[in-house]
């Protein structure tokens, strides 16, 4: 290489290409980008100016530079304003007084987000890959309803999906600890998905049986006009919501309702205990990963099956 690499994560670099007992000659083909853009910033000894596409990508996708932070903050403010406009359009009094102005504002934000999405696709190294990513799909869905409203009435109400774009705030504010905790929660839920599936199957079976029994005990003359109506009552009662729009009147129905209420409190505790135990296991596993420290450079956070330090290449104990 003619010059040092700037903006490349050495941790990802060494994790992808680990050391095997000795140092390895790295080239540009070995470099792993930190950011979504995949653009490597390489500055030669002459200080060559980077291309416009790379500079725009750093602003649009990056958050380390002042320009990148400013861009993301302005974007988030625009998203909040656009969602507020959409919500105000559904208020009758506001719509009657400021309808045309709200419509103009909605089109302004739609055109603004359309330009922003086009810029992202232009500066992304793999436009199709970004278009199929989560944020790429959200970008498309957030502008599509306004254009569809030219042909289909009422679709502009779907524009509230723009609120999903506020997820970028986790990157802007660098809430890395919250992101890791969310990842840990996701891993815990993934680990108990079979138990939760079985639990939900039992609950569905239970409400079907209880709803059918209540229909037989109470009958149509007491408001339980059908089995689906009885199932609705069972769900409301079992979840301890209790709207009160339909209630049993006979002694048998009230006795059955008492049993369902008691079952409801017990059922609430089951998923809580399952999730709590799994979260404890995930936290213990994460703590074990963080405790692995390199004796040479002091870096922590190595994977449990790692044999070498991902920063300096030292063999882990």
CATH of the domain at 65: 1.20.120
Q: Are residues 41 and 126 in the same domain?
A: no
Q: Are residues 9 and 113 in the same domain?
A: no
Among residues 147, 174, 201, the one where a domain terminates is 174
pLDDT of residue 173: 53
Q: Which domain holds residue 27?
A: 5-50
Distances (CA, A) of 114 to 123, 152, 155: 15, 19, 17
Report if residue 220 sits inside a domain. yes
Q: What's the rounded Cα separation, in Å, for the pair 62 and 73?
A: 12
Report if residue 162 sits inside a domain. yes
Q: Are residues 104 and 128 in the same domain?
A: yes
Q: Are residues 243 and 137 in the same domain?
A: no
220-270 residue pLDDT tens: 999 899 999 999 999 999 988 888 888 999 999 999 999 999 988 888 888
Report if residue 235 sits inside a domain. yes
CB-neighbour burial class of residue 107 (10 A; exposed 0-12, middle 13-18, buried 19+): middle
How many domains, in total, are found in the chain?
3
Report if residue 317 sits inside a domain. no
CB-neighbour burial class of residue 63 (10 A; exposed 0-12, middle 13-18, buried 19+): middle
Q: Are residues 18 and 87 in the same domain?
A: no
Instruction: Report, as ranges of residue numbers, the positions in the chain whose pLDDT lies below 70.
Output: 1-50, 153-183, 283-293, 298, 300-305, 311, 317
Q: Are residues 32 and 81 in the same domain?
A: no
Total-model pTM: 0.50
Look at residues 14, 11, 12, 31 and name the one whose alpha carbon lies nearest to residue 23.
14
pLDDT of residue 301: 62
Report if residue 311 sits inside a domain. no
Residue 215 · residue 224 · CB < 8 Å: yes
Q: At a CB cut-off of 8 Å and minimum separation 6, what does 53 contact?
A: 39, 122, 123
Report if residue 21 sits inside a domain. yes
Q: Are residues 194 and 112 in the same domain?
A: no
């Amino acid at each position: 290489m003619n010059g040092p690499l700037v903006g490349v994560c050495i941790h990802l670099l060494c994790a992808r290409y680990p050391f095997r007992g000795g140092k390895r000659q790295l080239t540009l083909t070995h470099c792993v980008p930190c950011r979504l853009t995949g653009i490597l910033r390489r500055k030669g000894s002459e200080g060559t100016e980077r291309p416009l596409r790379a500079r725009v990508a750093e602003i649009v996708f990056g958050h380390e530079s002042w320009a990148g932070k400013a861009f993301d903050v302005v974007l988030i403010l625009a998203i909040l304003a656009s969602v507020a406009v959409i919500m105000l359009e559904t208020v009758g009094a506001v719509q009657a007084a400021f309808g045309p102005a709200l419509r103009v504002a909605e089109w302004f934000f739609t055109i603004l987000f359309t330009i922003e999405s086009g810029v992202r696709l232009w500066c992304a190294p793999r436009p199709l890959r970004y278009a199929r990513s989560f944020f790429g799909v959200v970008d498309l869905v957030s502008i599509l309803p306004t254009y569809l409203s030219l042909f289909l009435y009422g679709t502009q109400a779907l524009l509230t999906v723009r609120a999903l774009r506020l997820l970028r705030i986790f990157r802007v504010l660098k809430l890395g600890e919250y992101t890791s905790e969310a990842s840990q929660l996701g891993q815990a839920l993934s680990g108990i998905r079979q138990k939760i599936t079985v639990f939900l199957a039992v609950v569905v079976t239970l409400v079907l049986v209880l709803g059918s029994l209540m229909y037989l005990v109470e009958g149509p003359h007491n408001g339980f006009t059908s089995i689906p109506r009885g199932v609705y009552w069972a769900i409301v009662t079992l979840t301890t919501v209790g709207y009160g729009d339909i209630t049993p009147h006979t002694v048998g129905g009230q006795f059955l309702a008492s049993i369902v209420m008691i079952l409801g409190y017990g059922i609430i505790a089951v998923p809580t205990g399952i999730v709590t135990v799994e979260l404890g296991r995930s936290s213990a596993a994460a703590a074990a990963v963080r405790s692995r420290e390199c004796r040479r450079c002091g870096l922590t956070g190595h994977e449990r099956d790692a044999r070498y330090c991902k920063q300096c290449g030292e063999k882990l104990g």
